[in-house]
Amino acid sequence: MLTLALGCTRTGASGAPIDFTPTATPGLAPAPALPAPGAETETAGQGAAGLALLEQPPERLLYTLNVVLDYENSMLNTQEKVEFRNPTGQPVTELKFNVPPARRPDAIVVRDARIFGQSQPLKFTLADTVLTVNLPAPLPPDAGIAIAFDYALHIPLQESIDGIGGDDSSRGPYSLMAGHWYIMLAPYQDGEWNTPAYVPVGDSYVSDVADYEVNILAPDDIIIAGAGEEQRDGRLWRYSLPQARVFAFGASPVFQVDSIEQDGVTYIHYTYPKHRKVTEAVLYTAARAVKLFSQLYGPYPYKVFRIVETGRSQGQEYSGMVGIGTLLYNGYPGRGSRHDLIATVVHETAHQWWYHVVGNDQVRTPWLDESFARMNELQFYEKYYPRDVGWWRKQYLGTQKTKGAIDLPISAYEDTRDYIRAVYQRGLVFLEQLRSLVGKDVFLDVLRDYYATLSYQTATPQAFFDALSRHTDQDLTDLVGQYFATDTPLPCKISNNLPGCRE
């Protein structure tokens, strides 16, 4: 078992002792822990100047997270180990991590950072949402290392957000949701660490594919809803989640838990008692969406899919799990498709294909997942509720002409309304016009090709247009010009060999 005991005295980056004693829940035993600093570990080979390197670095990022949940006080006392290869292709002495909760003052206290198994702490700074860790010697290209952190995180009360955005780690009256809550190694892209600033519009998160091993010690009356394969031993909840963009979990003393199994996938709904009457509709909507999108693009990658009611007003995608805001349940009678609850469950489920498997930079190119997920909503209604497609169009496209470039970063949109009109509404119109121009069969072939080619990678607009060029020679110059603000050179095959096109 991993050990790095909670509640011990630790030496921090300043060299002064740190007494790291989590806020305790009465009667709650300590969490299983990571190896203590200086303990013998099979990971340590010696690199330059005594820098401990991993003898066998993991195939991809590996996070081990041990959490003591103090539900009453909304505290996550966490020990984390991150194992990875140097992704930069050059020696580095600084590592960059994104810490989404740090956008709130005093929300997170990082007690300690060190190379896993080593007695000496590392120097680090946390500025805004970026944690910079200084190494004692250069980390060679492609060499593996493990960094361990101790930190305490306070989950804030749920914000009142009108639209899409806000903090996805929050506490409502009936549950706690931990979305993008832990210290995340920043992706290394285009010669730099990708460390975006928080923006209260859209999803201001970026992450690489990683494997997760998570242990959550909770009070005995709390139900945990975490992503991945679950094992429970009393108060200890264990989760294993491979090839994921993020690990999220919900917690509540009132969750009502129901499930169904279809085609080898178990669907689990965690909801508040007052909304349990709609569980059947939610579960079967998710199951139908997974069946359709699996047939269209490729199989759902896990054996379990969780739908978790949250205290928010909106839905949120995660790997192997979705959060559905409690306000979306209001007024749904328990049957029929003409309601935000059904459309949102479909939309968030679609993100398992566009965001989870085919990743994208949600800050710089949000249209690559949101427009596609909105397109999947349309495909769902066309398949299962053709008589309700008109209602769906009126509800989610409206009667006003949409406006705004679809390809801007989230920071470029003035507010949530502009973001929705451009990325969700106009993004859908762009994809619909594209489907009409090349034909439904070719459009589907393009998406299947794009999905297969970019699975578990970070997609770009260029990659999508490359997939198009493999299936059509239709000139798309005018169409792209109507919807894109940035210079997006198309492949020559689909731009009539326009000067500057890509071969």
Residue-by-residue DSSP string for 64-78: EEEEEEETTTTEEEE
> What does pTM read for this prediction?
0.90
Q: In what order do the strands lie in the sheet with 265-271?
A: 256-262, 265-271, 304-310, 321-325, 315-318
Q: Are 333 and 294 contacting, i.e. CB atoms less than 8 angstroms apart?
A: no
| Residues facing residue 305 across a β-bridge | 267
CA distance 291 to 260: 14
CA distance 192 to 84: 17
Strands (E) in 301-374, as ranges, are: 304-310, 315-318, 321-325, 358-360
CA distance 65 to 23: 18
pLDDT on residue 328 = 95
200: left (phi over 0), alpha (psi -120 to 50) or beta: alpha
DSSP state, 314? S
Strands (E) in 42-199, as ranges, are: 44-46, 52-54, 61-70, 75-85, 92-98, 108-115, 123-127, 130-139, 144-154, 170-171, 176-178, 184-185, 188-189, 192-193
Q: Are 186 and 96 contacting, i.e. CB atoms less than 8 angstroms apart?
A: yes
Q: How many residues does the chain have?
A: 503
| Maximum alpha-carbon separation in the chain | 71
CA distance 167 to 159: 7
Which pair of tokens denotes residue 408?
């801007």
pLDDT on residue 167 = 73
302-341: burial string, b at 16+ Cβ within 10 Å, e else: bebbbbbbbbbbbbbbbbbbbbbbbebbeebeeeebebbb
Which pair of tokens denotes residue 28?
């709650």
pLDDT on residue 166 = 65
The tens-digit pLDDT sequence of the chain (503 residues) is 223 332 222 223 333 332 333 333 333 334 444 444 333 333 344 455 568 999 999 999 999 999 999 999 999 999 999 999 999 999 999 999 999 999 998 899 999 999 998 889 999 999 999 999 999 999 999 899 999 999 999 999 876 655 565 678 999 999 999 999 999 999 999 999 999 999 989 999 999 999 999 999 999 999 999 999 999 999 999 999 999 999 999 999 999 999 999 999 999 999 999 999 999 999 999 999 999 999 999 999 999 999 999 998 889 999 999 999 999 999 999 999 999 999 999 999 999 999 999 999 999 999 999 999 999 999 999 999 999 999 999 999 876 667 789 999 999 999 999 999 999 999 999 999 999 999 999 999 999 999 999 999 999 999 999 999 999 999 999 999 999 998 889 999 999 998 889 98
CA distance 57 to 52: 12
Q: Which CATH number fits domain 255-503: 3.40.1390.10, 1.10.390.10, 3.40.50.2300, 1.10.1040.10?
A: 1.10.390.10
Which pair of tokens denotes residue 258?
């129901």
- From the list 395, 413, 406, 421, the residue with the least C-alpha distance to 480 is 406
- From the list 18, 440, 2, 66, the residue with the least C-alpha distance to 10 is 18
Fold type of domain 1-253: Immunoglobulin-like (2.60.40)
pLDDT on residue 398 = 75
Q: Where in the chain is the domain with CATH 1.10.390.10?
A: 255-503
- Give the pairing type, strands 304-310 and 123-127: unpaired
Which pair of tokens denotes residue 203?
């999803």
CB atoms within 10 A of CB 152: 19
CA distance 228 to 38: 32
Q: Where in the chain is the domain with CATH 2.60.40.1730?
A: 1-253
Which pair of tokens denotes residue 59?
């195939």
pLDDT on residue 165 = 59
pLDDT on residue 50 = 66
pLDDT on residue 403 = 77
- From the list 94, 76, 197, 79, the residue with the least C-alpha distance to 137 is 94
CA distance 469 to 492: 8
Q: Are 224 and 145 contacting, i.e. CB atoms less than 8 angstroms apart?
A: no
* Residue 124 neighbours by CB under 8 Å, 6+ apart: 13, 110, 113, 131, 132, 133, 134
| Euclidean distance between the first and the last CA atom of the chain, given in angstroms as a whole number | 53
